[in-house]
Structure 1
Amino acid sequence: MIVVEIDTREFTRKARQMGIFRADQLPFALANTLNDTMFKDTRPQIIGPTWSAAFTKRNAGLPRAAINVEKASKAKLSAGVFDALGKADLAVHAQGGAKTHSGTLAVPVLSRVRLHARGKTPWARELERRFSARAVRKTAKGLFVGKGGRLHLYFAFKGGAHLGKRFAFYEDFARRSVAGIRTRFPAHAQRAVATAFGR
């Protein structure tokens, strides 16, 4: 998870410049600013343009389900977004590196295996049901299907995979969060003080 943590000194100075400073209301204003920014600026950026630029959307609901917000409070002035599902190797796509997996990876041959919103067709475990047990051959190199007198590779076995950096998660998080906080803080500070004085 990546979070924004607030150093309140800059915001205290800003509140004093605005002439609306109330020390006991500052954490309330900051927490609301952070939460507003995460829900209205940062998360929409990550699940929208950032995701679309990095991945082919086969499942339109996946970004919204994967990226959640951790909210700030008056006692905890930090907020962020995180991968709630942990299934798409998003952290590796954001930094580049080795794909984590226990055992051997069965990598589909895309000319024979179709990828879609619910995964792939066929799955490796479905080959025998789809083509018959006699037609399927498993070797050290992968899973093959015999058709027309020849073996056709459907899944190649690999010990691991390297994913390149393609998901601008950290860059877009920082850009949208900083811009959102700067834009939203003055209104939240004024609202907090007005509430404190019963206006």
Structure 2
Amino acid sequence: MTKKDRYEFVIHYFQQHVPDAETELIYDNPYQLLVAVILSAQCTDKRVNLTTPAIFGRFPDVESLSLSSEEELFPYIRSISYPNNKTKHLLGMARMLMDDFRGEVPMTVDELVKLPGVGRKTANVITSVIDQQPNMAVDTHVFRVSRRIGLVSPKATTPLAVEKELIRNIDKSLIHKAHHWLILHGRYTCLARTPKCRECGLQQACNYFQKNIILL
């Protein structure tokens, strides 16, 4: 199967079976999504969703968060991984938004990555989810699934390399959906240690299945 055929097969499968894929983080506005994505680093969306209602109840907007302190905020995110660093990041993020962006979450990757706690992946998530910009956030799931299936070259050994190759090969109008397709597939089917290959609808297009499973 050529790379073009593989992309067409995979995209068609997801369009048919997961047409409305979206983030599993619960949010009502860009501020809430930004907080949730920062908290989600090396933490499950489920845990984040259990934590954010109390945070947003006490800090409903950027300004209220910017006026808080580490001592006040920390107890709200104690159960999240790396709570000390994330407390500092959230406060720094909110204060920079107030000082430099009039309290609004910017919608360009270049501006977002200036914020404390926001790297390229987080910036891509925000712009893709909120504004449907053709940006591909590559987390551990997207990285693993793309390489296993064969959507990217074995030489694509960094998140940035995977991001660039996916963007080159996926229609611009579908990139914001493809991000969620690959994440959800990695989260529930193409698991890191025990992929559910026998249940997977991408067997025909998957390099990993063809090389490692089909002969078993």
Do the structures match in fold with TM over 0.5?
no
Structure having greater relative contact order (Cα 8 Å, sep ≥ 6)? 1
Please report the TM-score for the alignment, with normalisation by the length of structure 1.
Answer: 0.26
Higher share in strand:
1
Computing the radius of gyration from Cα coordinates, the structure with the larger value is 1
Please report the TM-score for the alignment, with normalisation by the length of structure 2.
Answer: 0.24
